[in-house]
Amino acid sequence: MNSSWKSIAGSMILGAVIAFALGGFCFYEAKQYAALAPNESTATAHLNMRYQSSRNKSYARPKCDYSFSVEGVSYRGYEYCPLQSPDDPLKGEILDLAGVLLKTTATVYYDPANPSTNSLTEFSAMSERDYLYAKLSIGVGVILIIFLALGALLAPSANTEGGKSRRSGGIVVDAQGTVIYPDELNAGQQENANSTYQAGSAEEQSDHSANY
């Protein structure tokens, strides 16, 4: 397994871990909103809207800084404003360029046991959105794991050629064009050396016997 594949595999593993972690967090948030939805309460929130600049001038959804009160206690929030009519973005953009904040009201949904948990979107819709994000994120993680497994299976075959493993020591081509692998050459030299040594030992034994 070469270094480039190790780097790619490491990135895939990290991406899969992040995707699964994000999916788990979104799944947890979705369950929380689903549990709060049946008992959610509503109040009227005062909004300060500012339209952000957008390349697509035909549509720009504003962010809202909102506040509301529950039993005399004030709470605040900040998120995308509820969808407005098609004419509102242009009006809001003009007001924003003039440095004027467009003020309006909207319904805020909150947990009666903890009003600091609130949103300009119903909790049931928030739950559905987070469930969708969780599925998408976990799906990305699964895809990365599949690619990682396929890469691990294909990586060994990339190191083979013609059904034989590539020699790590390279090749040598003689004058006649014959390909010789260094490990085979070394093995042949070792065999010749062993044969020479054995022949010499036999001659020494014959001379030694003749002396007697």
pLDDT in tens, 89-135: 445 444 555 545 666 888 999 999 999 999 999 999 999 999 999 99
Instruction: Check residues 142 and 84 and name the one with the higher pLDDT.
Output: 142
| Same-domain check for residues 140 and 196 | no
Give yes or no for a contact between 16 and 148, defined as CB atoms under 8 angstroms apart. Answer: yes
| Same-domain check for residues 52 and 30 | no
What average pLDDT score do residues 60-77 get? Answer: 87
| Same-domain check for residues 32 and 19 | yes
Q: Kindly state whether residue 174 falls inside one of the protein's structural domains.
A: no
Q: Kindly state whether residue 172 falls inside one of the protein's structural domains.
A: no
Q: Kindly state whether residue 75 falls inside one of the protein's structural domains.
A: yes
Would you say residue 38 has pLDDT above 90?
Answer: yes
Q: How far apart are CA 140 and CA 138, in angstroms?
A: 5
User: Domain range spanning residue 158?
Assistant: 1-40+123-163
Q: Which two tokens stand for residue 195?
A: 């044969």
> What per-residue confidence (pLDDT) applies to 122?
92
| Same-domain check for residues 45 and 114 | yes
Instruction: Check residues 140 and 47 and name the one with the higher pLDDT.
Output: 140
> What per-residue confidence (pLDDT) applies to 193?
54
pLDDT in tens, 15-32: 999 999 999 999 999 999
What average pLDDT score do residues 30-41 get? Answer: 94
Would you say residue 57 has pLDDT above 70?
Answer: no
| Same-domain check for residues 10 and 67 | no
| Same-domain check for residues 2 and 24 | yes
What average pLDDT score do residues 41-69 get? Answer: 75
What average pLDDT score do residues 31-52 get? Answer: 88
Q: Kindly state whether residue 83 falls inside one of the protein's structural domains.
A: yes
Q: Kindly state whether residue 169 falls inside one of the protein's structural domains.
A: no
Q: Is the pTM of this model over 0.85?
A: no
Number of domains in the chain: 3
| Same-domain check for residues 65 and 114 | yes
> What per-residue confidence (pLDDT) applies to 170?
54
Q: How far apart are CA 34 and CA 123, in angstroms?
A: 7
pLDDT in tens, 147-195: 988 888 886 655 554 444 444 455 555 556 565 555 555 555 555 555 5
| DSSP string of the chain, one letter each residue | --HHHHHHHHHHHHHHHHHHHHHHHHHHHHHHHHHHGGG-EEEEEEEEEEPPP-S-TT--PPEEEEEEEETTEEEEEEEEPPP--TTHHHHHHHHHHTT-PEEEEEEEEEETTEEEEEESS-HHHHHHHHHHHHHHHHHHHHHHHHHHHHHHHHHHHHTEETTEEPPTT--EE-TT--EE-HHHHHHHHHHHHHHHHHHHHHHHHHHHHHH-
| Same-domain check for residues 75 and 114 | yes
Give yes or no for a contact between 37 and 122, defined as CB atoms under 8 angstroms apart. Answer: yes
| Same-domain check for residues 100 and 114 | yes
Residues 6+ apart with CB under 8 A from 80: 61, 62, 63, 64, 120
Q: Kindly state whether residue 88 falls inside one of the protein's structural domains.
A: yes
Per-range mean pLDDT, top range of 3-7, 55-59, 154-158, 182-186: 3-7
| Same-domain check for residues 32 and 48 | no
> What per-residue confidence (pLDDT) applies to 90?
47
| Same-domain check for residues 48 and 116 | yes
| Same-domain check for residues 30 and 131 | yes
